[in-house]
Amino acid sequence: MPTRLRKIRRYRGSRQHGWGQVAQHRGSGSRGGFGQAGLMKHKWTWTVKYDPDHFGHDAFKPPQPKGPSRWLNVGQLDDLARRLQLDGKKGKRELDLTQLGYGKLLGEGHVKWAYQITVSSFSKSAQEKIVEAGGEIASGSKK
């Protein structure tokens, strides 16, 4: 675009360039402040409409989540053993769940084969089902 047709050329010599008197459109006053300024004051309606969860905190979220990050149910052991290609000809299939990254063994489901399991923690129902199938479960430290 040629310089002579630009809008700014028309304002050469005028002091305000179309923004009224004394420093309008110069600082941050016309926009109500920089950044998060005024969210509880003059920008409250914007806050309510577009960012209602800006203030406060989630009361039901603990500051540091506790408990195992990964767990496994007893019913998934057979599928896991199949994927790891564990053979049961020696008697009990050996599974080190802590080495596989699981923190806890839970008791949902049924077990077909006997396992010798090492895991950081386990539920009572998981222990009962493993022993009932002819296996053993031991608590091992996490590496």
Task: Summarize pLDDT for 42-88 with one digit per residue, the tens.
Answer: 999 999 999 999 999 878 877 777 777 889 999 999 888 888 887 66
Task: Note the pLDDT tens digit of each residue in 126-143.
Answer: 999 999 999 999 987 654
For residue 24, the model assigns a pLDDT of 84
- Domains delineated in the chain: 71-139 (3.100.10.10)
Q: Is the pTM higher than 0.85? A: no
Give buried/exposed letters for 92-128 (b at 16+ CB in 10 A, else e).
bbebebbeeebbbbbbeeebebbbebbbbbbbeebbe
Output the six-digit token pair for 136: 């053993």
Edge-to-edge strands, sheet with 93-96: 93-96, 115-119, 136-139
Relative to beta strand 104-106, strand 115-119 is unpaired
Where residue 18 falls (left for φ over 0; alpha for ψ -120 to 50; beta otherwise) is: left
Determine contact, residues 107/128, Cβ cutoff 8 Å: yes
